[in-house]
Amino acid sequence: MSQLTPLIAGNWKMNGNKSLISEFTQVFNSQAIDGIDVLICPPSVYIESLSQQVINNNSVINVGAQNVSEQMSGAFTGEISVDMLNEVNATFVIVGHSERRAIFGETPELVAEKYKMALDNNITPILCSGETDQEREDDKTFDVIATDIDAVVNLTGIESFKNGVIAYEPVWAIGTGKSATPEQAQAVHHFIRSHLAKYDAEVAQGVRILYGGSVNEKNAAELFKQNDINGALVGGASLVSDKFMTICQNAQSSL
Ligand code: PGA
């Protein structure tokens, strides 16, 4: 892990409840961990509760959302706007998670619009990108990732990665228990940084690149030893406070 502050982000997906939020904010109190950024992205109905519990328990947890609309407001049933996220004190948002791309048909262009909408409204976007099994077999991993990054660059410029985060999440590793090896992940993270450097070397050096896909309390330490891995986006293991804490402590020890 390089000198960038590690970010350990939990993506609860459609899981969790208010009591889990209380547990996390108590476990991650102000003494719990320092030197890294900890983030939880619960289902959107719980964001306000998380924000409130963070204050009540003097917790170090940052609050994020799993998705945001590319529209400001209006007749978009079921969607959530950046103003709403700001009002409940969400400071991060995941955009383009592979489940959103695969199940909800989000395209690289739409994800880029969401990325821009978040950034323009002072919410840090976490751009997810990764290849399927088939794409890896067809040697298309780098193409898939370059397409997702270029969609953002084309819409809003390379500078937009100064205040954003990227998460490499191979689809074949998500929820499967089969994480990428540290070497496999590092190779893709290195590609991402080199690709950004073609536009702007300084921006490329400054962007945090998280790895996601079956990260757990056993494999995290090895992943964090890699040069271009600046943290993790954690699904399943982010629902269990002691596992998530161990992952955070591993990130802290890697500093
Ligand atoms: P997982 O999910 O850790 O359960 O594989 C990661 C993600 O989808 O962000």
17 near 50, Cβ under 8 Å? no
| CB of 128 closer than 6 angstroms to any ligand 1 atom | no
| CB of 174 closer than 6 angstroms to any ligand 1 atom | yes
d(Cα 24, Cα 6) in Å, to the nearest integer? 19
49 near 79, Cβ under 8 Å? no
Q: How far is CA 86 from CA 14, 42, 63, in A?
A: 21, 15, 11
Which of the listed residues 165, 166, 169, 176 should we mutate to test ligand 1's pocket, taking the one with most ligand atoms within 8 A of CB?
Answer: 169
| CB of 220 closer than 6 angstroms to any ligand 1 atom | no
Residue 3 pLDDT? 83
| CB of 204 closer than 6 angstroms to any ligand 1 atom | no
Residue with tokens 């891995």: 229
> Residue 157: which region, alpha, beta or left (left: phi > 0; alpha: psi -120 to 50)?
left
Residues 46-53, mean pLDDT to the nearest whole number? 98
Domain ranges of the chain: 7-253
Global pTM reads: 0.97
Residue 32 pLDDT? 79
Residue 63: other Cβ atoms inside 10 A: 24
pLDDT tens digit sequence for 176-217: 999 999 999 999 999 999 999 999 999 999 999 999 999 999
Nearest CA to ligand 1 atom 1: 235
Burial of 183 from C-beta contacts in 10 A (0-12 / 13-18 / 19+): exposed
Ligand 1 centroid vs 94 CA: distance in angstroms?
12
| CB of 235 closer than 6 angstroms to any ligand 1 atom | yes
Residue 97: other Cβ atoms inside 10 A: 28
231 near 11, Cβ under 8 Å? no
| CB of 15 closer than 6 angstroms to any ligand 1 atom | no
Q: Are strands 124-129 and 7-11 parallel, antiparallel or unpaired?
A: unpaired
Residues 144-166, mean pLDDT to the nearest whole number? 98
Ligand 1 centroid vs 175 CA: distance in angstroms?
5
Residue 30: band (very low, low, confident or very high) from pLDDT cuts 50, 70, 90: confident
Residue 40: band (very low, low, confident or very high) from pLDDT cuts 50, 70, 90: very high
Over pLDDT 70: what percentage of the chain? 99
d(Cα 175, Cα 215) in Å, to the nearest integer? 9
Is 169 tagged catalytic?
yes
Closest CA to 247 of 36, 67, 3: 36
Q: Pick the catalytic residue from 70, 106, 135, 169.
A: 169
50 near 63, Cβ under 8 Å? yes
Residue 95: other Cβ atoms inside 10 A: 29
Provide the CA 95 distance to its chain's centre, in angstroms: 8
Taking domain 7-253, whether its CATH number is 2.30.42.10 is answered by: no
Q: Pick the catalytic residue from 97, 99, 131, 217.
A: 97
Ligand 1 centroid vs 74 CA: distance in angstroms?
32
